[in-house]
Structure 1
Amino acid sequence: MNLYIRYFDKEILVYSVEEALDFLRSIPEVDITPSMEKDIREFASNDMFFPKRYKVRPRVYFIMIKTTAQNMDDFKQKKAVRPMVPGMNDRRDLIASVTTKLTEIREGWYEGSLDFKRVVMVPNTGKHEYRDTHFEVRCKAVSGMDCYNRMVEYLRQRVDARSQFPSAKGKNFKFSYLGRWKEECDL
């Protein structure tokens, strides 16, 4: 992994941490402390591709970027864009599958569970506070999203209006399809 370093109009593409430190030491305004050196070494050795900036003095920084570019021209022309992390595509696919599963039309009985923040009054103080509340229901719906909407609509009529409900796509809502007919799902 190579490092691109820039401080105002001074820039360089280096192939090791030692070269990077030598370049930074050659700039009189930049004072390389032991903690900064340690941080630069850690930045270069980890797998993260985010750019990092280091403070030289108030409102003055130098920037360091990891790259796979072999020379400055490749870096400037963005030929060596960072490789796609395999987990990112999987995560996008997972989000897409959750959305697809949620909106899939499948009429019948659903069991849904929802964790939400319910506003309740504390009797001793007369003040209100949020309490984590778990709510489960079996209802007839046409999709997971319809099950969620029915649950939230039911709760909105019965709890304080300031209560907070999670997104249907989040981890605080779960549902399962029980079957098309009431007899199938043993209600």
Structure 2
Amino acid sequence: MNLYLRYFDKETLVTNVNDAITFLGSISEIGMNPVLEADVREYVESDVYYPKRYKIRPRVYFIIIKTEAATMLDFKEKRAVHGGTADSREKVLPPVMSRLNDDLFGWYEGEIDFKRVLQVPGTGKFQYRDTRFVARCKANSGLECYNRIVDYLRQRVDSRSQFPSVKGKNFKFHYLGMCK
């Protein structure tokens, strides 16, 4: 695994943590010290594949990204994204996302957390309140279940209420089967 490092317009692709620390030490503004060096080594040795940002001063960072790319050109053209194959990327998808469009007629239980506009008694002003709504409905897929719930709510709550994305964490559904 290689490491991509960038600080403003200075960037490099290195093959090991020692080269990364040498690159960071060559930039005087970063101020390489033993604590930062230990943190970089810990990040590189960990199983975390998310990019890591290090704060130098307010609104100034450098970034480290783990990559399978052999050259800078491969990295820039995203040819060696971690996880490589399409099969492994599909396994990373949340189960709800992969089942959302499955065509399976029957009863679904959908749960949606949305921002509902309500009037505050006494002041007459309006505010958003987090509201959970659970319903059972007949549908052909999880997506249709979401659409039916949102259509139902739009007819019954203030039009300024905000509904989450069907793909977000604020909508969940379960297939209950053919009979209720």
| TM-score, structure 1 as length reference | 0.62
Q: Which runs of 5+ in 2 are unaligned?
A: none
Name structure 1 gaps, 5 residues minimum.
none
Q: Which amino acid aligns with 2:113?
A: D
1:90-137 deviation digits (Å, cap 9, x = unpaired): 123735532233xx151x544433332211111032221222223233
Aligned in 2, Cα 1:22/1:112: closer, same or farther, shift over 3 Å? closer
Q: Return the letter of the residue paired with 2:172.
A: F
SS in structure 2 at match of 1:90:
helix
1:133 aligned residue: 131
Structure with bigger gyration radius = 1
Cα separation, 1, equivalents of 2:65 and 2:96:
29
- Could you tell me whether the CA contact under 8 Å between 1:117 and 1:165 is conserved in 2? yes
Residue equivalent to 2:151: 153
Once the two structures are superposed, what CA deviation does each residue of 1:54-109 show, in whole Å capped at 9, x if it has no partner? 6789999876554567xxxx4346399354179743123735532233xx151x54
Deviation at 1:6? Answer: 7.1
Q: Which of residues 114, 117, 127 is equivalent to 1:116?
A: 114
**Partner-residue secondary structure (3-state), 2:74:** coil
The residue type equivalent to 1:97 in the other structure is: S
Answer yes or no: is the 8 Å Cα contact 1:49–1:82 preserved in 2. Answer: no
- The DSSP-based 3-state class of the residue aligned with 1:113 is strand
Q: 1:126 to 1:139 in 2, by over 3 A?
A: same
In structure 2, how many angstroms separate the alpha carbons of the residues matched to 1:20 and 1:39?
Answer: 12
CA 1:93/1:10 → structure 2, altered by over 3 Å: closer, same or farther? closer
CA distance in 1, matches of 2:34, 2:109: 58
Q: In the alignment, what sits opposite 1:42?
A: 42
- How far is the alpha carbon of 1:37 from its aligned partner? 2.2
Letter paired with 2:71: F
Aligned-CA RMSD value: 4.1
Identity among equivalent pairs (%): 46
1:161-176 equivalences in 2 (<5 Å): 161-171=159-169, 172-176=171-175
Matched position secondary structure for 1:78: helix
When residues 51 and 75 of structure 1 are mapped into structure 2, their CA distance, relative to the original with a 3 A threshold, is farther
